[in-house]
Amino acid sequence: MASVIESAWQYLITHFSDFQLACLGSFFLHESVFFLSGLPFIWLERAGWLTKYKIQAKINSPSSQGKCIIRLLLYHFGVNLPVMIFSYPVFTYMGMRSSLPLPSWRVVLAQIIFYFILEDFVFYWGHRVLHTKWLYKHVHSVHHEYATPFGLTSEYAHPAEILFLGFATIVGPAVTGPHLITLWLWMVLRVLETVEAHCGYHFPWSPSNFLPLYGGADFHDYHHRLLYTKSGNYSSTFTYMDRIFGTDIGYRKLKASKSAEIEFSSEQKKK
């Protein structure tokens, strides 16, 4: 398997420059993973399939879904791509490379874990700041236009927010200067995580059912349903920051209440 990956990587670095791979390649990878993972949830809503796993009964109209896609394309080409291009010198200065040999899986794993921890910390505080009155009204309210989120709404945001919270995603790789393949893996995992968190469905196979402290769709959907001053659940991937600072109290109370109702209902059925 390793030899196959190395052969494929050899082809890439032979036919494309570092700039092309780091900027255009990263952008193409991001768009592919984002839309391929996010579009199926639009289809699920329109088809009305798997509704028993849908967190909110409300569905988004085709026009609102179309508006989201159009603006996403504008934001991605107008904000994300330029950021990738202009940040390239920073990453190369910090030591990012694309040459062989590829890093060992231990190095890749250690860096990915570090990125998740750092991203969670930076995102949590940045997100809380965006929920202050002025910034919410003028910036973050764009993201909250969709009180019933679906996968693609994960990156639907004001351009200023894209830059502000996007910093949380790139700060880890920027300070460590990883191999490009590590950066790509981090990008893929981060995109898949944020799409899942906004998908609007809680499936039996959702990662939050298996990974301790993982937030997921149910956790983040609660954040979208409430008024900005009372929402809580500001974390990105894992929930420990909300637990430490008590900003998930409302969510935990709601979950405890629902569990009690289910338990009471099951006891009544047995009688």
pLDDT at 266 over 70: no
pLDDT at 264: 45
pLDDT at 26 over 60: yes
pLDDT at 265 over 80: no
Span 184-229, pLDDT tens digits: 999 999 999 999 999 999 999 999 999 999 999 999 999 998 766 6
- Are 236 and 127 within 8 A, CB to CB? yes
Mean pLDDT, to the nearest integer, of 110-114?
98
pLDDT at 93 over 90: yes
pLDDT at 257: 83
**Confidence bin at 271 (pLDDT 50/70/90):** low
